[in-house]
Structure 1
Amino acid sequence: MENLVSTLMDLVWSKPLVYGLLLTGIIFSFMMRFFQVRHFSEMIRLMFQGEKSPTGITSFQAIALSLAGRVGTGNIVGVSTAIYIGGPGAVFWMWATAFLGASSAFIESTLGQIYKREENGEYRGGPAYYIEQGIKGRFGRIYAIIFALVTILSCSLLLPGVQSNAIANSMKNAFGIEGWIIGAILAVVLAVIIFGGVKSIANVATAVVPFMAILYILMALVIIVLNIKEVPGLFALIFKSAFNMESAFGGIFGAMIEIGVKRGLYSNEAGQGTGPHAAAAAEVSHPAKQGLVQAFSVYVDTLFVCTATALIVLLTGTYNTTDGTVGKDGAPHLIKDGGVYAESAGEKDYSGTAMYVQSGIDKAFHGPGYQFDPAYSGFGSYFVAIALFFFAFTTILAYSYIAETNVSYLMQGQSKSAITIGFNIARVLLIAATVYGTVKTADLAWQLGDLGVGLMAWLNVIAIWILHKPAVKALKDYERQKKELGSGRYAIYRPDPEELPNAKFWLEDYPERLRQENIQ
């Protein structure tokens, strides 16, 4: 099975996808005149601008739900793995992926809003919806069904194991708790929350994600202060390594870019097609509003949380980097050996890279004389275990919502009880995959996760290239109204029915609501 998954992953994660994601971000950024910079303050303002309804969730709840999916194992283990394979320069390419990926996140999330629907008292939307409604015809319907099936497979079966595996490994390292016990606990807690529906998931995400992300970033800031003299040299190392100017890491240039982009996408999910599901659930008066909010969530994930991880391990030096070769003893050859996990790291076994962060935190508080001891569970082990638990757990919650949305899409027209049965099957599969992830090998877990991400990314990136024009036009319309009205707060989306005949919510439902509320 591992050989099959590895072969499929190599096919999916080929160079066209890696460099295609970067190229997509560059072109979309130019199309929208680098809105990532121009509207930075607007993104923050819109995030806290509450618009509520019985049907939709607020923008803040939507970004919290989206961040629940973005901020997960990739922010700790993924970043550490990127440094292990690609060296410090991989961090720069993660930053580049986030900055450019914000444009892809805007396009897909705005499309999610434009083509959303109201189903059983909740807003539903995402790539399957905008693929069918935007591309139209038989091809659009078949394409949408394929995306929905791949997404259900990925979010219910392939991706949860990565998150739960990281939780199990970190908990065992810190507290000595066996994986099967963690699996049982996760199963019970997950069942209580996900059977409560989208608002239950959003409420948990809203409470947990901001708190844990801020706490994690604060930990990084403390370590920066303790190592303030090393910061200029560290950033010089990142940039020199990123452009092949650092001799120690020069031989891994290609691997650095590829792993930086791959782990950047795995973490921030820009262009993958997960963000639009949460974006579509928000109650807003203009699709571009939620598109801007979702673009900011990419910054939070990669530029803030992932950078926090990178700074912890790079400032303290508790990381290893391999050149990809294996010695006679079967262990990978290291071109940088931070003395952490080197003795047990296999060629593709990255489960121990979380120890870079754990050891980095311990070293920061113990001083330069600290020596890593894998048998020792210090404050760093406890902190990372708890952070990973909350990050990864909320990501699994987000996967549940995404899977349900695609089940809802496939079961359109069915009775409410039939749809509920479909939801419950997806929920049970997700819980089973989560439990399985706590006891299977880390290598297989990551390869399954990468396969799921790659398949979704291929399908969604092609779709947003075909359908990007309405989203770009929505941004221009929002900018025009903002300028005319003096504030984007009062911007209302009124699409042209001839251009977007399938944007039925904005053409029929929303105008009727405005009429009832006597808003012109």
Structure 2
Amino acid sequence: MELLSTISNWVWTPMAYFALGLGLFFTWLTRGVQFRRLPDMIKQLRTGKAEEGGLSSFQTLALTLSSRVGVGSVAGVATAIAAGGPGALFWMAVTGLLCSTAAYAEAVLAQTYKRRVRGEDRGGMPYYVKYGLKAPWLAVILATLALVGYGFVFPGIQANNIASSAQLAFGLDPWITGAAITALLAVVILGGTKRIVNVAQAVVPFMAIGYMLTAVVIIVVDIEDVPAALWTIVASGMGIDAVFGGLIGYAVAWGVRRAIFASATGLGEGTFAAAAARASHPGKQGIIQAFSIYIDVLLVCMATGLMIILTNSYHVIDHIRGGFLVDHVPGSVAGPNFVQNAIEVTLPGWGPTFVAVAVFMFAFTSQIFFYVATTNLVFLLGEKSNRWLEGLLKVGALTISFVGAMISADMMWAIGDIGYGLIAWVNLCSVMLLIPVVRKIVRDYDRQRALGVDPTFDPQELGITGADWWEERIQEERVKKGQGERVASPTTEH
């Protein structure tokens, strides 16, 4: 554990400042696209439609949120508070506001460089690294990291948190919960992409709404304490709180770390769903992905954090002397237990059971983002099929779901942090090198919106190469238009 924690800190301490700096730079580059285009976000969700082989804007948002709104929005927030104090929440919010532009840039690139594979639209991190950055060797490294992470490691984190909350609520042994999770996951992933999309689209909205309503009830009940709680969060994040001010370095590092983990911005996780969307311009899917960050970090994560702080359902680690600076929940493990206690304080008899069910729904829909692993496998296979390797991947995901439920929480989180951190470094550096492409697309989208037209994308007009999917679609539309004109033309003169 000491070795894993040391490696995790090496990966994440500089990443926190790099991610914030990159988010600030992208905000300047796009002239605050995450704020300017908020009305477009809502409009695109209403008007985007699914086509054969592609997904609608709402479907991609649901599929992305099935990953973004996961245990990071519950357990991840709790671990951030335990390690960085209440100030970690402040830096989570800052990360959500600034780094939503990174999610925008990722999605734009994923749309631009997607491909048509086996009748489905596929794309994501390795595709824009290979076809946009023209670095196939780096694309293979990135795809391998993502394949191993999403297929053989990260499902264990979700299973671990489900087992932890179920043990507190129902007294179930972790192996029993692990077996149940594995069986349900098998039903979903064996059904293929369509079943994954259908499950996500059906479950995510109800999951998020139910959780948020419970948070609102707790906040309203403790409304008199909200100003003091908010001041504690801000003061701790700025380093001026009497108790937690000395943790500002940990608050920044853990706030950014858990915001990235919870929302997956910068990890490229949402790029695979973004690439599957059918949109007339990459900029449209960019603003959808930025909107998903708002929903997760600024709504769900902040609601979780406020519940925990309002009810004093947390402890904060003393990194210098050992032990805790404060320990309001003796014996509790940082994670779902904090939230279970928070709800139990306000709504006796409701907390452990409700959170166990909520964590199950959050975590299970994160599990079904197995779509990420399969897309990376497709990329590595050269867009060919290999049933043996596909079967091995499914077995791996099911195995870690079972084993992960029984591994210690600290070890599972540490291993996951290292994996996420490595992917984030490679992906964010790649996105940074593709800034010229992102800038062209942002400007093109803004230009067309200023003209009052529905933006359409032509990569050749912008001097963008490697966007084969778009070039093929434009060619097909020209052929159809030409055929239509010939059919409409008179065959004889009168």
Q: TM-score range by the shorter chain?
A: over 0.9
**Match among 333, 336, 342 for residue 323 of structure 2:** 333
Please give the residue correspondences for 1:108-119 in structure 2 after superposition, counting only pairs within 5 Å: 108-119=106-117
2: CA distance between counterparts of 1:74 and 1:249? Answer: 23
Rounded Cα–Cα distance in structure 2 between residues aligned with 1:132 and 1:428: 28
Alignment partner of 2:14 out of 10, 13, 16: 16
Tell me which residue corresponds to 2:336: 354
Per-residue CA deviations over 1:443-471 (Å, capped at 9, x if unaligned) read 11001110111010000011001112222
1:329 aligns with none
Name the SS of the counterpart of 1:41 in structure 2: helix
Structure 2 counterpart SS, 1:118? strand
Equivalence for 2:371: 401
Deviates further, 180-189 or 121-130: 180-189
* Equivalent residue letter for 2:7: L
* Matched-pair contact (CA < 8 Å) for 1:186–1:434: yes
Task: Assess if the C-alpha contact under 8 Å between 1:76 and 1:357 holds in 2.
Answer: yes
Matches within 5 A, 1:33-432: 33-136=31-134, 140-325=135-320, 332-338=322-328, 340=329, 342=330, 344=331, 351-366=333-348, 378-398=349-369, 400-412=370-382, 414=384, 416=385, 418=386, 420-432=387-399
Pairing partner for 1:494 from 442, 458, 462 = 458
Amino acid at match of 2:120: E
User: Any idea what the Cα deviations from partners look like across 1:315-358, whole Å, max 9, x if unmatched?
Assistant: 112211122245xxxxx5222221x1x2x46xxxxx44322211
CA distance in 1 between partners of 2:239 and 2:115 (Å):
48
Show structure 1 runs of 4+ deviating over 4 A. 517-520
Q: Answer yes or no: is the 8 Å Cα contact 2:336–2:359 preserved in 1.
A: no
**Alignment partners' CA distance in 2, 1:273 and 1:509:** 25
CA RMSD of aligned residues (A): 1.8
- Counterpart CA distance in 2 for 1:396 and 1:413 is 23
TM-score scaled by length of structure 2:
0.94
Contact 1:497 1:507 in 2 (8 A): no
Per-residue displacement from partner, 1:241-294 (whole Å, max 9, x unpaired)?
A: 111111111121111111111111110111111111110011111111011000
Asked if structure 2 preserves the Cα contact closer than 8 Å seen for 1:145 and 1:410, the reply is: yes
TM-aligned CA deviation for residue 421 of structure 1: 3.3
**Judging changes above 3 Å, is the alpha-carbon distance between structure 1 residues 514 and 426 closer, same or farther for their aligned structure 2 residues?**
farther
Residues 74 and 263 in structure 1, CA contact (< 8 A), matched pair in contact too: yes
Residue 429 of structure 2 is matched in structure 1 by: 462
Q: 1:494 to 1:379 in 2, by over 3 A?
A: same
Residue type at the aligned position of 1:402: V
**Contact 2:440–2:462, Cα closer than 8 Å, also in 1:** no
Aligned equivalents of 2:478 and 2:401: distance in 1?
Answer: 43
Percent identity over the alignment is 39
Per-residue deviation at 1:395? 0.6
Cα distance in 2, alignment partners of residues 500 and 85 from structure 1:
44
Provide the rounded CA distance (Å) in 2 between the counterparts of 1:255 and 1:474: 37
Aligned amino acid, residue 398 of structure 2: I
Unaligned runs of 5+ in 2: 486-494
Is the CA contact 1:66–1:275 (under 8 Å) kept in the aligned structure 2? Answer: yes
Whichever residue aligns with residue 148 of structure 1, its letter is A
SS of the residue 2:382 aligns to:
coil
Q: What SS class does the counterpart of residue 42 from structure 1 fall into?
A: helix
Distance verdict in 2 for CA 1:225–1:142, change over 3 Å: same
1:309–1:58: structure 2 CA closer, same or farther, 3 Å change rule?
same
Query: Measured at CA, do residues 240 and 11 of structure 1 come closer, stay the same or move farther in structure 2, by a change above 3 Å?
Result: closer
Structure 1 unmatched ranges of 5 or more = 327-331, 346-350, 367-377
Q: CA deviation at 1:11?
A: 2.9
Contact 2:110 2:274 in 1 (8 A): yes
In the alignment, is the contact (CA less than 8 A) between 1:216 and 1:308 conserved in 2?
no
Aligned-partner Cα distance in 2 for 1:362–1:143: 48
**In the alignment, what sits opposite 2:416?**
449
Name the structure 1 match of 2:489: none
Between the aligned partners of 1:473 and 1:384, the Cα distance in structure 2 is: 45
Q: What amino acid is aligned across from residue 46 of structure 1 in structure 2?
A: Q
Amino acid at match of 2:69: V
